Amino acid sequence: MVVDIRAVLHRVVDEVFDDSVFVHEYDDHDAPDAYRVRVTSRAVPYIQERDGCLVASYEWFQAHIPDLDVGNIRFNYDDDEREKEADLRDLALLVRAYLRGAGEVTYRPSLIRRRPIPTLTVEASGVRWRLGRRVSSEARI
């Protein structure tokens, strides 16, 4: 059975995000077999506008926070649509929490770059996510 990843992505986005978020699907020529959605929070008092991206292909899913250039990627090589949807939903809940103002950003100095390197820690749906530029982790709480 072939899973329609684009349909799964849109189903999850419709379920997780409400009308307080702008949703925009876009293409990227680097990975033509992946579908991308950019979500942007509408102006909320006391919270600056935030952006997040979800990327879905048949074998991998990614949540990316362009504001900080951090993210998380999950791989799923199975053909089970429910498992793929669950993985993508976890990442969407992470992005939703960030858009709503959740999370703590810490910075560490870089030996090579002039700017410090950010790490975002967010708790969403029973998972503590630590997102960095090259390394990320998740742990059930």
Integer Cα distance of 66 and 41 in angstroms: 13
- Yes or no: say if 126 and 141 are a contact pair by the CB < 8 Å rule: yes
pLDDT per position as a tens digit, 25-58: 988 777 778 999 999 987 666 667 899 999 999 9
Give the pLDDT score at 31. 73
Q: Is the pTM of this model over 0.85?
A: yes
Integer Cα distance of 55 and 63 in angstroms: 7
Domains of the chain: 5-102 (3.30.160)
- Yes or no: say if 36 and 55 are a contact pair by the CB < 8 Å rule: yes
Amino acid, single-letter form, for residue 132: G
pLDDT per position as a tens digit, 53-111: 999 999 999 999 999 999 999 999 999 999 999 999 999 999 999 998 899 999 988 88
C-alpha 106: how far from its chain's center?
Answer: 18
